[in-house]
A and B are shown apart, each in its own frame.
Chain A
Amino acid sequence: MTTASTTSTPTSTPSASVAPLLSIAGLVRRFGGLTAVNGLSLSLADGELVSVIGPNGAGKTTLFNLITGLDTPDVGSVAFAGQDVTGFAAERLAGLGLARTFQHGRVFGNLSVLDNVLVGAHTRLRAVRPPLGLPLLGPLAELGLALLPPAAVRAEEERLRAEATEIIALFGDRLTPRLDKPAHSLSYANRRRVEIARALALKPRLLLLDEPTAGMNPTETAEMLEIIRGLKGRGLTILLIEHKLDLVMQLSDRVVVMDHGARIAEGLPSAVATDPAVIEAYLGHKAVGAANQDDAAAVVPTKRGIGE
């Protein structure tokens, strides 16, 4: 029963000239003895593409879950389009224009490619989901309109189908010939494409991509790079988790490096790539045999066990 409009203009904050679209402050999430996200802050301006990099287990996906409402932080806040959305449910955030893909690919296996993408457009159904605001009448009206669709509902469905087909065509002939195939029959790479198409069907204001090129070969990765570049060119704001650094370096306006749940560096791609702390954490230490233990201990203040 989301009544919020996805097309509403961002509420302007008087204090800042350009309010960030997304701003995260002091996010903490603990799982038992492990602190997956540890006091992370981050903000994204409209139209920006920011990449989050870091080794596996650094807390990147947990961060995505916290932003998209699939998990709630123990401490900290998330603001989206000037509104405090901490603790909002995932479905509500989707209604506000937040779309994501999943690291391990969560397509709807038994749904066709087209239906997968159409589910992405769920929050944009207007004619068939009249915003009545009443608890029982809304769903009942939706049921009635679905069973006996008036012209407006049929037109909406047609329009969304056409649009979904168009989005799918973004991926060339990778998906278009497979519109009616169930998603479980697709290759790994194609499932990732379906996920991105589904996210685009939401017409997101912020798109979160969790390793869009995982499992793709260099050709496919290059294709994906062009697609993301195109999305960015259209002004879409994107938060990207990615391991393939050349892709990150080519696409990002800014790069955030995470390790052990915290941000260890942030900046322009070129600056991050040469940051010694990043090289240390992400690219690994140089010679281990010769590694100076005292040195390592001095560099890394262990944050483990806070509050435990």
Chain B
Amino acid sequence: MFPTSFGPWLDYTINGLVIGNIYALLAVGLALIFGVSHLINFAHGSVYMVGAYIGWLGITKLNLPLPVTFAAVAVGCGLLGAVIERVGLRPLRNAPRIAPLLATIGLSVVLDQSAQLLFSPDPRALPTQLPSWRIAIGGGSIGALDLLIAGVGIGSAALLYGFLRFTRLGWAVRATALDRDAAQQCGVDVDKVNRTVFAIASALGGVSGLLVGMYYNTIDPNMGFQAGLKGIVAQLIGGVGNVPGAIAGSLLLGLIESYGIALFGTSYRNLFAFVALILILVLRPNGLFAKARRLPPEPLTGTFIAPSRPLVLPGWLIGLLIVAALALPFAVQQPYLLQTLGNAWLYALLALSLTLVAGTVGQVSLGHAGLLAIGAYASALLALDAGIPVLLAVPLAGVIAAALGTALVFPAFRLRGHYVSIATLAVGEIVTLVILNWESLTRGPIGVTGVPPLSVAGTPLVSGQWVYWIPLVVLLVFAGVQTRLLSSHLGRTLRAIREDDVAARSYGVDLNRYKGLAFAVAGFVAGVGGALMAHFYSYINHETFPAPVSMLALTMVILGGLGNVAGAVLGAVVLVGLPELFRAAAEYRMLIYGVVLLLLIRFRPQGLLGTV
């Protein structure tokens, strides 16, 4: 495990720098984009994936010479970047700052899913036409591809430096990054600047995707998600919006990963990046290279909650709907329908949980599926390994998810806006990676099989009706509790934090205490939801609750109306129930979610029932 000679370490160093170079191509683009538009572009990883596929088309299908392939990737991705700016960013110029971030998430889903439909989800080989010689250096070695990657990295950095320093448009980019309004008042067309920056960043990102594909000789439609996150991590290490910092952060991250893998093994690769991310966010939120104390940050007064008038459903209608929902199994006997709706109720628990933290408290969590996973594993393992009755294991799993979830997100409580989203995304990934790697507890990649079903007095509750009723009753109870919570003093206190945390603090509201409370309640609800899923599905593994589930939850919550309890239920029924009932092909579903998310953010940010 621990290489003792010097040679391997040199190889790890070279490998780390090469990977770091690839991250740098991503991170520099993210830094440029953040600079001019204060946006963390979650679609960047998808552009990288598209770059890899354009390269694959060029190399394997069209047999283009390598330089031509590179040019095609840069141009194709540059154009894609300009389109992303036009669709994802410009229409949302005056929207709250979280809106474009969510739009880039939607775009990323759409791009990834389109690639899956077009090229199939299977990985493809990307053979390089490079010579296979390697130069030996003191026990290690460098190959032609390593040199090419280094050359592209250094060359891009030099070109970028020249552009920013010596061209008029480059000056405009720097000026816009420093003060957008003042740049406009100098006559700078900031839309053009944004478009240029997106194009440059995306061209670099695409080239990075191609290089990675060549380096590992494999590409797949989902390769962008992790890579995009790595770019974001590298950028945060260097300080957001700081281009030289992004390069340094990337090289550092590459080395951390390379050495980390050498010490602990490949399956831990991504864990290092996310742990580094959390550490940076907590210890040096302005990055490693930030100067001393800066101006206190401007309050993020514009949350995603657009001023709106929520649609108030009359009490009798809600009562009627509840009775109808409860009575449905008497009228309908098709198990498939009941099962589908039962699944929708389970997802509604997740939406209920997310709408509390993202809607009511304004902490847009992107890792909410992690809470489901904690609940599911806790309940399954308590029942299987500790022999605790399932009916007791489920609420215990809720408590564990509440405690663990709150503890994991706690370091992010002092962050705001985008940083909260990134931190929760990282926490979600960490949960998945820990499940994958902590084999003695979680059984690792094999997953947990034979999770016992819910049962009363030895009778398993597995028939269609129970699969429908149990989640529904749990949902109704939690929805009632949440409604009650919102109408108590906690409701106004949590919403005050969302509206203006500085003013809230000035009136004695302890942010940590109330964010903690909200995450604990949300963790309990999602944990119970995850636990029920485990017992209904009878098999879970680390991929049962992947990151896209978090995005789905967010889409449900926004669709229903942020903070809106009835809206969360409606969102789950519409997005989980309807596609199933209409038998929409499974492979199109994620694509539909992405498109729905994009349309909502653009045209109806207050959702169907309105934000509360």
Contacts and interface: CB of A to CB of B under 8 A. Distances in A.
Contacts of A162: none
Interface stretch (B316-324, B488-496, B584-592): B488-496
Interface in A25-70: 31-32, 65, 68, 70
Interface in A93-111: 94-95, 99-100, 102, 106-111
**Residue with the greatest number of chain B CB neighbours at <10 A, chosen from A1, A70, A138:** A70
A17 B520 CA distance: 50
Interface string B548-561: 00000000000000
A202 B500 contact: no
Interface residues of B, number: 36
B514 to A, nearest CB: 8
B505 interface: yes
Interface stretch (A120-128, A255-263, A270-278, A297-305): A120-128
A119 B295 contact: no
A185 B309 CA distance: 11
A123 B294 CA distance: 30
A202 B488 contact: no
Nearest to A195: B503
Contacts of A119: 492-493, 496, 504, 507, 509
B499 interface: yes
B503 A108 contact: yes
**Residue with the greatest number of chain B CB neighbours at <10 A, chosen from A2, A118, A122:** A122
Interface stretch (A77-85, A142-150, A216-224): A142-150
Contacts, number: 111
Interface string B294-337: 11100101000101000000000000000000000000000000
A164 to B, nearest CB: 11
B508 A108 contact: no
Interface in A143-162: 143, 146-147, 149, 157
A89 interface: yes
A109 B299 CA distance: 14
B501 to A, nearest CB: 10
A32 B294 CA distance: 7
Interface in A185-226: 185, 198, 202
A198 B504 CA distance: 11
Interface string B473-510: 00000000100110011101101100110111111111
A109 B307 contact: yes
B516 interface: yes
Contact of B495 (A68, A89, A110, A202): A110
Contacts of B295: 31-32
Contact of B505 (A90, A110, A118, A138): A90
Interface residues of A, number: 43
A111 B499 contact: yes
A147 B485 contact: yes
B488 A146 contact: yes
Given A146-B488, A147-B488, A90 B506 contact: yes
Interface string B512-541: 010011001100000000000000000000
Contacts of A99: 506-507
A219 to B, nearest CB: 27
A143 to B, nearest CB: 6
B301 A106 contact: yes
A244 interface: no
A102 B503 contact: yes
A143 B499 contact: no
A266 interface: no
A111 B611 CA distance: 12
Contacts of B612: 110
A115 B507 contact: no
Contacts of A107: 500, 503
B510 A91 contact: yes
A106 B485 CA distance: 25
A110 B520 CA distance: 24
Given A108-B500, A110-B305, A110-B307, A147 B484 contact: yes
Given A91-B510, A94-B507, A146 B495 contact: no
B507 A146 contact: no
A252 B296 CA distance: 31
B500 A106 contact: yes
B311 to A, nearest CB: 15
Contacts of A106: 299, 301, 500, 502-503
**Residue with the greatest number of chain B CB neighbours at <10 A, chosen from A68, A71, A147:** A147
**Residue with the greatest number of chain A CB neighbours at <10 A, chosen from B495, B499, B503:** B503
Query: What does DSSP make chain B's interface, helix, strand, loop or mixed?
Result: helix
Contact of A202 (B296, B490, B507, B521): B507
Interface in B580-612: 611-612
A142 B507 contact: no
A139 interface: yes
**Residue with the greatest number of chain A CB neighbours at <10 A, chosen from B294, B305, B485, B509:** B509
Contacts of B484: 146-147
A91 B508 CA distance: 4
A238 to B, nearest CB: 16
Contact of A146 (B307, B485, B499, B513): B485
A31 B298 CA distance: 14
A182 interface: yes
Contact of A142 (B490, B496, B499): B490
A174 interface: no
A205 to B, nearest CB: 13
B507 A198 contact: yes
A120 B507 contact: yes
Contacts of A142: 490, 517
A184 B520 CA distance: 30
A106 B521 CA distance: 28
A121 to B, nearest CB: 8
Given A71-B296, A110-B495, A146 B509 contact: no
B317 to A, nearest CB: 21
B485 A2 contact: no
Given A143-B521, A182-B307, A157 B503 contact: no
A290 B485 CA distance: 68
Given A70-B296, A139-B516, A182-B307, A2 B611 contact: no
A207 to B, nearest CB: 12
A70 B490 CA distance: 23
A123 B499 CA distance: 18
Contact of A70 (B294, B506, B521): B506
A201 to B, nearest CB: 8
A94 B492 contact: no
Given A1-B513, A31-B295, A143-B517, A110 B499 contact: yes
A41 B506 CA distance: 23
B273 to A, nearest CB: 31
14 contacts: A1-B513, A31-B295, A95-B508, A102-B503, A109-B307, A109-B499, A111-B495, A115-B492, A119-B507, A123-B508, A128-B488, A139-B517, A143-B520, A147-B488
Given A71-B296, A120-B507, A128-B488, 19 more contacts: A2-B508, A70-B502, A90-B502, A91-B510, A91-B511, A94-B505, A106-B301, A106-B503, A108-B496, A110-B307, A119-B493, A122-B507, A122-B508, A123-B508, A139-B516, A139-B517, A143-B520, A146-B488, A182-B307
Q: 6 closest pairs, A vs B, by CB?
A: A94-B508, A123-B508, A108-B499, A146-B488, A106-B503, A90-B505
